[in-house]
A and B are shown apart, each in its own frame.
Chain A
Amino acid sequence: MSDVERDVRDFISTNFILDGEVLAVDDSLTSHGVLDSMGVLELIMFIEERYSMKVPDEDTLPENLDSVERIVRYVQQRLDAPDG
């Protein structure tokens, strides 16, 4: 498990009530009731603070944020980018 994935999983388990459920990396966070309109704001704030980056509105898409795997990929891409 990468450091980013560990961070993301820690954030989710600390901030949302999962009732013992373990999320697979590709589980949809919206379908599992983790990401609603408030959860998205919290997730974005977590990413921005933890990785010192701005998440622009145009990046707030399900393909970037709607599973652990997608979040990890998005964050890693941003960190690896020359201006990241």
Chain B
Amino acid sequence: MADPDAIGFEALRLPDAVGAVEAIVDELRRTVRGFRRRGGVLGLSGGIDSSVVAALAVRAFGPEHVLGVLMPETDSAPDTLRLSRLAADAFDMATVLEDITPVLDAVGCYRRRDDAFRKVLPDYGDGWKAKIVLPSVVESDAFRLFSVVAVDPDGVEHRARLSAEAYLEVVAATNFKQRSRKMLEYYHADRLNYAVLGTPNRLEYDQGFFVKNGDGAADVKPIAHLYKSQVYQLAEALGVPEEIRLRQPTTDTYSMPQSQEEFYFSLPYACMDLCLFAVDHGLPPASVASAVRLDVEQVERVFADISAKRRVARYLHASPVVPAGLSGSPMAAG
């Protein structure tokens, strides 16, 4: 017998995508006006999220009040720049190119990351490419441990589990990328008196798939309430070029191509969306098992992973804490 609570992917569908666009555009305009800023700056990555936010910003402020910052670096995918320009051209908005490789080099991003990789792969060096991967959450109850997968200059693949120290150092070093990009977005926002527009979707925002004070920083996040499936729906309504809509979501952070599933999410985005939707609406694992083609036990693991990521995301979302109620505190009563 079918589960009476069973839902399918249609549960994620916005009933009125055009109306949703208009509501976001109104809110975006109101928010930025409230900040007494005159437009928006955003980093363009050639992906679906930044392309949709660009389109929304152009509708809200007009193309002459939106700036797309293109910030490739040496590990960026070859098509990142081309697809970023494709989005900007589609919405007739200005862009500025800021290659962040020299900044990252100067701050030691690549050197520090490679030193950390060498802690578990001693031969890692020039000409190697690497990425960090996680095992699937659905296949077993085992704790998920990060590994580095690397290809040497002869094309031979190497794999090693990361130690806690190596993992933290790799992440700390690569986080320079998102933080350097945000620094440049705020530079342009300050010089133009614009606001910085963040591009996370709900899945990323909820699950902490961002760098604190990096891509997690922004003045307004216009699509953070939308599941990624809904962002795709908006992309179609907004006329985001098909090539961008068909691009596989990527982290575009490591030198080897890395899907978001390998690094962070446990399922393809549409299935993650539906599981998150079920958790958000208090529905049991059985309600989505059939749609996401997993058994109930596997969906239970995905739900547990969602809860675990929310615990981690709490720190990422937290503003600096000012002790309340202590003597001398500005938060103290009276």
| A and B bind | yes
Cβ–Cβ < 8 Å partners of A60 in chain B: 142-143, 145
Q: How many residues from A make CB contacts under 8 Å with B?
A: 17
Question: A38-B168, A42-B164 in contact; A65/B143 too (CB < 8 A)?
Answer: yes
Instruction: Kindly list chain B residues whose C-beta atoms are within 8 Å of the C-beta of A4.
Output: none
Contact B311 A33 (CB under 8 A): yes
Contacts of B161 in A (CB 8 A): 57
CB distance from A40 to the nearest CB of B (A): 4
B142 touches A45 (CB 8 A): no
A36 adjacent to B311 (CB under 8 Å): yes
- Interface check A37, CB cutoff 8 A: yes
Closest A residue by C-beta to B168: A38
User: Inter-chain contact count A-B, CB under 8 Å?
Assistant: 43
Most chain B Cβ neighbours within 10 Å, of A36, A40, A57: A57
Given A36-B308, A36-B312, residue A61 in contact with residue B163 (CB < 8 A): no
B167 adjacent to A41 (CB under 8 Å): yes
Contact in complex: A58, B142 (CB < 8 Å)? yes
Which residues of chain B come closer than 8 Å to A84, judged between CB atoms?
none
Tell me if A23 counts as interface (CB < 8 A to partner B).
no
Q: How far is the CB of B212 from chain A (nearest CB, A)?
A: 15
B side interface size, CB within 8 A: 18
Q: Select from chain B the residue with minimum beta-carbon distance to A44.
A: B145
Q: Mark A43-84, 1 if CB is under 8 A from B, else 0.
A: 011000000000001101110010000000000000000000
Give every chain A residue within 8 A of B3 (Cβ-Cβ): none
Report the bound CA distance from A44 to B165 in whole Å. 12
Residues of the A chain whose Cβ atoms lie less than 8 Å from the Cβ of B135: 57
* Residues of B with C-beta under 8 A to A45: 163-165
- Given the known inter-chain contacts A33-B311, A36-B312, A57-B161, please indicate yes or no for A41 contacting B142, CB distance below 8 A: no
- Say yes or no: is B79 at the interface (Cβ < 8 Å to chain A): no
> A61: which of B143, B164, B308 is its contact (CB, 8 Å)?
B143
Evaluate whether A38 and B142 lie within 8 angstroms (CB atoms) in the complex, with A33-B311, A57-B135, A57-B161 already known. Answer: no
A29 to chain B, nearest CB (A): 11
Chain B hits for A58, CB < 8 A: 142
